[in-house]
Amino acid sequence: MKEAVQVAVLIPSVVRAGSLQGEAYYYSVPSHLQDGVQIGKRVLIPFKNRKALGFIIGFGKPPEGLSLKEIIDIVDEEPLFDEWRHEFLKWVSNYYMTPLGIVLKAAHPGGLGVSLKKVIKITEKGVNLLNKDKLSEPERLILKTLSISGVVTVRKLFNLVEGGKYEILNSLRRRGLVDFSYELRSNPKIKHEKVIIAAERVHLGRKWGSDNAKKSAIKSQILNYVIEHGRVPYSNIKEMFGDVSRHIKWLESKGYIIVEYHEVTRDPFSEITIQEDKPPYLTPDQERAFERIREAIGRGRFSAFLLHGVTGSGKTEVYLRVIGEVIKIGKEAIVLVPEISLTPQLVKRFKGRFGNKVAVIHSALSDGERFDAWRMARRGDVKIIIGARSAIFAPFRNLGIVVVDEEHEQSYKQDESPRYNARDLALVLGKKINGVVLLGSATPSVESYANALKEKFTYISLPLRVENRMLPYVKVVDMRGEGGGIFSKRLEERIIENYKTRMQTILFLNRRGFSTLIVCPGCGKSLLCPNCSINLTYHIKEDSLMCHYCGISEKFLKSCRNCSGTLKKLGMGTQKIEEEIKRILPEASVARMDRDTVSGKIKLFDLYRKLEKGEIDVLIGTQMVAKGHDLPGVTLVGVILADLALGIPDFRAGERTFQLITQVAGRAGRGDHTGKVIVQTYNPEHPSIRFAVEQDSISFLNQELQLREELGYPPFSKLINLKFEGKDEYETSKTSKEAGVTARRLLSKFPISVIQILGPSPSPIYRVRNRFRWHMLIKSANVNILHKFSKQLINVFHTAKGIGGINVSIDVDPLSFM
């Protein structure tokens, strides 16, 4: 008999209840549940004043004198993770200093068949008060709904009243008129399809009894259709014959057909036409890369490779070949991509080569589609999972390789807890499975390149494009002499010329919207977001002002709120570029690729279809257009404002500028025609822009390494950023400063000069979603000491002070563990 189980609770607020490291809670197991208790299963538990879901993560004897509550129920028939995945997830929790419950929640698709709903019911006191004149109209409406319906979810009640919803419900609860509780509800995501099958013995000559001739004819047609096809989805029959429910019931009752329900897998890429992808001949460089990685696969030990290939050098073909080798020996593969916009092309290539062995996991899919992909991976029905960062948690049982495409991309970093970097986790996962990790990029990150120089990664170069194609010709335009327009004379001429020759153009600007600054010339005031310390952006299509941080949207009023003067639109975004192109080329087909236009997979598929068919002449986009797209018709790329990111207060700003320019330039000339790139800039002498124009990654990386070493920044040091957020400005500032004092006191327990503390100070964007933000940077060359210090700091600070409504989070810099 198991004396007690340890449970990791899936409630983010638990972080604020104790240390940031979190803790497991002990529960006893009632006798009728003893046989079902296993590590990896979810359980329903009483937690404080509510019910909660948690994962069983261990067994053990609880501390002396601790009174245990019993688990209420076991949710899962089988564990959701095995022993090695459990160890991996514990590593993530420990390294990123995040409670294991939050890591477990992030690692599994939402719901997984059940959900815990907050419900409300009316009390006897509430019933008695319902007909008295002591209630406001919203309160009366809520109580009346509860008296009729019994138990109602919070969401349904919220739809009844406007404003102050939580306050009204909490007031009713305090007065004893309603009770809150939590219910476990089945939320099955398994999809079933109704299938009609012809019975073994069907007598077509049978008379149809008393049915009229028309009905008999329809029944006969349906039956013949089913016999012809053997087994037919009910939806197909309905599409062919209309409403057939009565006829199907009759045919089933007479024994002509059998009705079954089959589990079906949702395929988010069913609308994409897949053609067989025959392996091309490898270039000598590709062949050498493939052979080196294949040898590592055969050795069965952890090996990490950095595949540094120029744009168009055939990195994807290398991925396909080595994954094919992994599948041959009965193992599985995860392929990470930085943007969902990359997946349609990649899926076409992989499905063309490996057929139905491929599934996809990313945020643009529905919950059901992600759930199906997760289950297929767990059951071994697929051998390859392609997806954005969360795909690193795919539950393969025999993983052999993890490929990280565009490994330099910052989008592999999660911005909310757990703040993991998927590229880094790929390396950790590779070590745990004794597998191969393949990092690919045309512009490797400084950290990965440094690891290659130290021979922690095996460096492989693909210096030439496939089929002897030339790298694009790149020209810099100094905008200081161009008069302040959007397009330089040279770029405008090339856009028109490219359109006339029926070639495609990509224009890159890493800003959404139409105008990024709305200002009053009279009083000088600019329009700021009421929730964030950031300018509102004007969107011309909606004629509205939007904040790209909190999402608020409001109608654009042309008059200044301060002095009633006429507002002026300054700055530019992708919408403004679109308007200018339509003015220059009114007959051209123009499209945008940014978060405003590509918000789901259907829009994304449609855009790709048009691009591949040549139906779009000019594509305008943000960083989405800079990533890995292979569009042979694109012969011109225009970088509208190359130095946009250089002013960001981040030591990686130069690196990101170089990467973006190089990557977007690489979209040109991937077909039979030579590509041209025009880079507009106000800083043509800046090293990031100069090296990008020369397409010289190695020189840039070597210079950047030298600069980082002089300044003591990664990879020559490790960083942890302690972040403080709160609704109260004074309390947030006070808490962060007290944390700074505590940190400096704690320094005395560590070797002198090993740890450096910078701050605390206000964050560059001080307020987001009405939460004030401070941060404190902790730096050290010794990662073990850095982690030890950070954990002690958090625990001391929590014990001494608590955090009283201030959210404290930890951001660990990439590749700190290498």
In this structure, the dihedral spanned by the alpha carbons of residues 479, 483, 486 and 491, taken in order and rounded to 10 degrees, is -60
Q: Give whole-number Cα distances, 580 to 486, 488, 777, in Å.
A: 8, 12, 43
Would you place residue 210 in the very low, low, confident or very high pLDDT band (cuts 50, 70, 90)?
Answer: very low
Q: Report which secondary-structure segment, H or E, holds 508.
A: strand 504-508
Q: Give whole-number Cα distances, 401 to 69, 302, 420, in Å.
A: 43, 10, 20
Evaluate if residue 211 carries a pLDDT over 70: no
640-656 per-position pLDDT tens digit: 988 888 878 788 889 99
Q: Are strands 590-593 and 384-387 parallel, antiparallel or unpaired?
A: unpaired
Would you place residue 733 in the very low, low, confident or very high pLDDT band (cuts 50, 70, 90)?
Answer: very high
Please tell me the predicted confidence (pLDDT) of residue 325: 96
Average pLDDT over every residue of 6-10: 87
Would you place residue 499 in the very low, low, confident or very high pLDDT band (cuts 50, 70, 90)?
Answer: very high
Average pLDDT over every residue of 507-523: 83
Q: Give whole-number Cα distances, 428 to 432, 507, 525, in Å.
A: 6, 38, 50
Pick from 6-10, 199-203, 216-220, 615-619: least confident: 199-203
Evaluate if residue 14 carries a pLDDT over 50: no
Q: What percent of the chain has pLDDT over 90?
A: 31
Pick from 256-270, 347-361, 475-489, 518-532: least confident: 256-270
Evaluate if residue 800 carries a pLDDT over 70: no
Q: Give whole-number Cα distances, 655 to 425, 643, 652, 688, in Å.
A: 22, 12, 5, 7
**Amino acid at site 339:** E
Evaluate if residue 11 carries a pLDDT over 60: yes
Evaluate if residue 553 carries a pLDDT over 90: no
Average pLDDT over every residue of 508-514: 84
The span from the CA of 255 to the CA of 199, in Å, is: 7
Average pLDDT over every residue of 663-690: 88
Average pLDDT over every residue of 551-556: 83
Q: What percent of the chain has pLDDT over 70?
A: 89
How does 651-672 read in b/e, with b if 16+ C-beta sit within 10 Å? ebebbbbbbbbbbbbbbbbbbe
Strand partners, 258: 197
User: Which has the closest alpha carbon to 792: 216, 19, 12, 91?
Assistant: 19
How does 788-818 read in b/e, with b if 16+ C-beta sit within 10 Å? ebbbebbebbbeeeebeebbbbbbbbbbbeb
User: Which has the closest alpha carbon to 456: 309, 303, 289?
Assistant: 303
314-341 per-position pLDDT tens digit: 999 999 999 999 999 999 999 999 876 6
Check residue 628 and give left, alpha or beta (phi > 0: left; psi -120 to 50: alpha). left
Please tell me the predicted confidence (pLDDT) of residue 212: 47
Best-predicted range by mean pLDDT among 599-603, 659-663, 797-801? 659-663
The span from the CA of 316 to the CA of 349, in Å, is: 9
Two tokens, residue 761: 């100070």
Evaluate if residue 1 carries a pLDDT over 80: no
Please tell me the predicted confidence (pLDDT) of residue 700: 95
Mean pLDDT score of the chain, rounded to an integer? 84
Best-predicted range by mean pLDDT among 255-269, 514-528, 697-711, 724-738? 697-711
Average pLDDT over every residue of 793-812: 66
The span from the CA of 445 to the CA of 319, in Å, is: 19
Q: Comparing 565 with 461, which gets the higher pLDDT? A: 461
Please tell me the predicted confidence (pLDDT) of residue 403: 97
The span from the CA of 584 to the CA of 743, in Å, is: 59
**Quick count: other Cβ atoms within 10 Å of Cβ 352?**
16
Average pLDDT over every residue of 445-461: 95
Residue with tokens 């941080």: 549
115-152 per-position pLDDT tens digit: 677 778 888 888 888 877 778 878 888 888 888 777 77
Average pLDDT over every residue of 200-226: 63
Would you place residue 802 in the very low, low, confident or very high pLDDT band (cuts 50, 70, 90)?
Answer: very low
Evaluate if residue 445 carries a pLDDT over 60: yes
Evaluate if residue 390 carries a pLDDT over 60: yes
Would you place residue 436 in the very low, low, confident or very high pLDDT band (cuts 50, 70, 90)?
Answer: very high
In this structure, the dihedral spanned by the alpha carbons of residues 634, 639, 645 and 651, taken in order and rounded to 10 degrees, is 70
Average pLDDT over every residue of 341-364: 82
Please tell me the predicted confidence (pLDDT) of residue 581: 92
Pick from 21-35, 755-769, 778-792: least confident: 21-35
Please tell me the predicted confidence (pLDDT) of residue 160: 64
Best-predicted range by mean pLDDT among 174-183, 386-395, 518-527? 386-395
Evaluate if residue 748 carries a pLDDT over 90: no
Q: Please answer whether residues 520 and 567 qualify as being in contact, where contact means their C-beta atoms are separated by less than 8 angstroms.
A: yes
Evaluate if residue 206 carries a pLDDT over 60: no
Would you place residue 556 in the very low, low, confident or very high pLDDT band (cuts 50, 70, 90)?
Answer: confident
The span from the CA of 34 to the CA of 646, in Å, is: 60
Strand partners, 554: 545
Two tokens, residue 572: 């530019």
Rg (CA), the chain: 30
Evaluate if residue 342 carries a pLDDT over 70: no
Would you place residue 18 in the very low, low, confident or very high pLDDT band (cuts 50, 70, 90)?
Answer: very low
Average pLDDT over every residue of 46-54: 83
Average pLDDT over every residue of 83-109: 89
Would you place residue 798 in the very low, low, confident or very high pLDDT band (cuts 50, 70, 90)?
Answer: low
Two tokens, residue 571: 């700055």
241-254 per-position pLDDT tens digit: 888 888 888 888 88
SS percent in the chain: helix, strand, coil, step 5: 40, 25, 35
**Quick count: other Cβ atoms within 10 Å of Cβ 253?**
9
Evaluate if residue 204 carries a pLDDT over 50: no
Please tell me the predicted confidence (pLDDT) of residue 805: 61
Please tell me the predicted confidence (pLDDT) of residue 301: 93
Please tell me the predicted confidence (pLDDT) of residue 207: 45
Would you place residue 637 in the very low, low, confident or very high pLDDT band (cuts 50, 70, 90)?
Answer: very high
Average pLDDT over every residue of 258-283: 78
275-290 per-position pLDDT tens digit: 777 888 999 999 999 9
Q: Give whole-number Cα distances, 113 to 82, 360, 392, 742, in Å.
A: 19, 19, 21, 45
Would you place residue 469 in the very low, low, confident or very high pLDDT band (cuts 50, 70, 90)?
Answer: confident
Residue with tokens 């897998």: 265
Please tell me the predicted confidence (pLDDT) of residue 23: 64
Would you place residue 348 in the very low, low, confident or very high pLDDT band (cuts 50, 70, 90)?
Answer: confident
Would you place residue 307 in the very low, low, confident or very high pLDDT band (cuts 50, 70, 90)?
Answer: very high
